[in-house]
Every structure is written in structure tokens, then in C-alpha cells.
Amino acid sequence: MATGCRSIALGLASMLAVSCQTTRDLTTPGSGMTARVVASDASRPVGPDGRPVSVTGTATFTGLTVELWDGQQWLTVANGSGNATLALGDGALQATLVPATVIPAGSYSEMRFTAASATLDVAVAGINFSARTQATQESLTLDKTVAVTVNPDGSRTFSVELQLIRTVSLSVDPATGAPIVTLNGDFGPVTMPAASMQTSVIGSDRSQPVTSPAGMSVSGSATFTGLTVDLWDGQQWWAVANGSGTATFALEDGTAAATLVPASELPAGDYTQIRLTATNAVVDLTLDDGSRQFSAGLQSNGPVVITKSVTVTVNPDGSRTLAVQLEMVRSVALDVDPTSGAASVSVTGDFGAATAAASAR
């Protein structure tokens, strides 16, 4: 009977092990070997689409009890008074769960630790949120295999690697519309409000138009008025500028950026696309064919809607900058009447297609 009970304890979860085996309290130092217990987190979380998500932060455990399995019973080596904070990362940073302590010699293969409360402080790059759980109302228990290192002085280090966060997903509270984040992993499933982050949206133009006649240089600017900016988070469009904005882009090599939305608190989201809608857009161009210059002002034919991918930059202060690169002008054609000398310019690009009279300068 005892043998059957032992096999169940080894094969099933820790709760069955407790029901079949006694737990010996060894928090009082005695004869045996010196050992310490450390833990690290090697979370490699993914989002709903399976893509890796970069997570930083900490997990803090209080009221920590640590037990080691020697093949026959659980040995308590920390009795509920301990605390530990683990950095979420690649497993390189270790936290001490039990400092160097004398414990009975044994072949320890598993570790079980129970925290009276646990808190996650996390920030996720690209998904644009930070969040913190409330201390858990119920204890958290984890049962893991340990790796044993024999140190030069003969002491042992028992190491356990956790994956506190395996998946990250965002959703919207149907009642309030506020973003919420759901995390799953060794920490357990937890859902919490996702705090918004200071985020700005900028745009630049990298027009390299094909010209007719060939070889003309093109410079100028594009101005949007009545600008609305929406961001796509993978599930829906979020309006972050409500139609009252303006923006002017220099038509050049993409290095000069215009602010579309100044730094503000934006809803959390894995923003991948931007949609710009302007009630009116004007492109002012200067053309130079080497011997003459022409200027033209082209008016959009109705509202302009542009949808583009965005790049996300995490700034040193933790804020985000979302950037979009436009090609307002892809082709420019100059037509000069050989008799009257009247000139016109036709343009296509993100701006749309338009034709306007041009004047010689």
C-alpha cells in the first residue's frame, strides 16, 4: 500500500503528494548538507496570433513556503515568512528563495513553493500597456522540477525555472470600453485593467516620384485639415484624433516628421496600422526641369483616406512613438502647351489623383 501511494504522489500534482506523504519541517538547522534554493523566470510569452511578445517587469511573492521532494516526502525548508521578487526575462536573473541553509542530505528532484500572496507588475512592448495585479486573495502554489549544482565548497544550489507568463491577450471591457489584459502561465490566469501609455503619432513623407519629363526635381509640402487619426489594434479601430487636427508634411526623404497626435494617453493596444482621414488636402509643388521652374497647388477631390502600417518605438521614459511613412506623390507629369505656354501638373500618390494649372517662376 505504501508503494502504491508513493507512485501516485510522484506522478500526480503536489496536492496528491501531500495526501499520500507526510511533510517534515526542517526549518531548524541540523546536520546535513548546506544548500540554497534559487528561482528564475524564463517567460517567452506569445500573443493571440502566436507571435513572441516582449514582457518586462517583476513578480513578487510574500509569505513564501518552500518544500523539497526527496523521493519519499516533502521537506519544508522555508516556513511561510519568506519574500522573493523575480524579474521577468530570459532566465538569466535569479532570485533567492531560501538562503544557504543546512538540510538533510538527499536526492531532491522537485520543489514546491506556496505564496500567501503574489503580485505581477508588467509592461509589454508593442502591445503598449502596463498593468499590475492586486495581491491574490488565495495562495499560489507551484510544483517544479529542480536542477542541482554542486558548488566548489561542497554546498548545493537547487534551481527552478519558471514561466510565469506564457500568453498575453488584450480585450475590451464590454461595460466600460476600457482595455483589459489577460495573462496565462505559471502565475495562473489573471485578468487586470491595462493602463494606457503616453503615446504620440508622427508622420513623414518619403516621396520619390517618377516625373514626366524625366529628370525633374520635385519639392513642396502636403497639408491636411480636418484630420482624423484612427489606430488598428488587431480587433477594432480606435479614434485618437477627432477631426479637428491639421498637419503639414515636407515632401522629401522621410527625415522630417510632422506631429499627427501629440503625446497623450491612448488606449492600450497592439497597434499595427493607422488610418488618416482629412476633409481637405492640398499639395503645393515646385518643379524644376533644369531650365525653368513651375509651381502648382493641387486640391484633393473630396476627403482623403490613407491606411498604412505603423512602426512602434519605445522611448527611454517608457512612452511610445507611433510613426507612419507616406508617399504623397508617386508620379508628377508637367504638360506645357507649345503654343500658349500654359502649363498644368498632374499628380498621383497617397494624396490621390489631381490636376491643376501650373505657373512659371
Residues 125 and 24 in one domain: yes
Expressed as residue numbers, the domain containing 73 is: 19-165
Q: What percent of the chain has pLDDT over 90?
A: 25
Q: What tens digit of pLDDT does each residue of 178-223 get?
A: 677 888 888 878 887 776 667 888 889 888 899 999 999 999 998 9
For the record, the C-alpha cell of 265 comes out as: 494617453
CA distance 120 to 295: 59
Structural element, H or E, at residue 6? helix 2-11
Degrees, nearest 5: CA angle 213-353-339: 45
At residue 133, the pLDDT reads 60
Write down the pLDDT at residue 130: 58
| Average pLDDT of span 307-312 | 90
Same domain, 210 and 304: yes
Alpha carbon 118 to its chain centroid, in Å, reads: 23
- Cα 1 from Cα 125, distance rounded (Å): 53
Same structural domain, 210 and 356: yes
What average pLDDT score do residues 42-64 get? 84
175 has a pLDDT exceeding 80 = no
pLDDT band at 152 (very low <50, low <70, confident <90, very high): very high
Same-domain status, 51 and 111? yes
Q: What is the pLDDT of residues 129-144, one digit of tens each?
A: 555 565 444 578 889 9
119 and 227 fall within a common domain: no
User: How many domains are there within the chain?
Assistant: 2
| Per-residue model confidence (pLDDT) at position 7 | 23
Query: For residues 231 and 56, what is the distance between their CA atoms, to the nearest angstrom?
Result: 24
Q: What is the mean pLDDT of residues 271-298?
A: 90
pLDDT class for 25, splitting at 50, 70, 90?
very low
Residue 27 domain-assigned (yes or no): yes
pLDDT band at residue 60 using 50, 70 and 90 as cut-offs = confident
Residue 360 has pLDDT above 80, yes or no: yes
Contacts with 239 (C-beta within 8 Å, 6 or more apart), sequence order: 228, 229, 230
54 vs 161, more confident: 161
Contact 229, 274 (CB under 8 A): yes
Same domain, 68 and 23: yes
Same domain, 31 and 157: yes
Same domain, 160 and 204: no
pLDDT value of residue 188: 79
Mean confidence (pLDDT) of the chain: 79
| 268 pLDDT more than 90 | no
3-state secondary structure of 19: helix
What is the arithmetic mean of pLDDT over 59-68?
88
Mean pLDDT on 266-270: 64
pTM over 0.75: no
Q: Do 261 and 337 share a structural domain?
A: yes
More reliable by pLDDT, 317 or 201: 201
Which band of pLDDT confidence, cut at 50, 70 and 90, is reported for residue 231? Answer: confident
Report yes or no on 183 lying in a domain. Answer: no
The residue ranking higher by pLDDT, 123 or 109, is: 109
* 90 and 228 both lie in a single domain: no
- Which of the listed residues 165, 188, 212 is the one where a domain comes to its end? 165
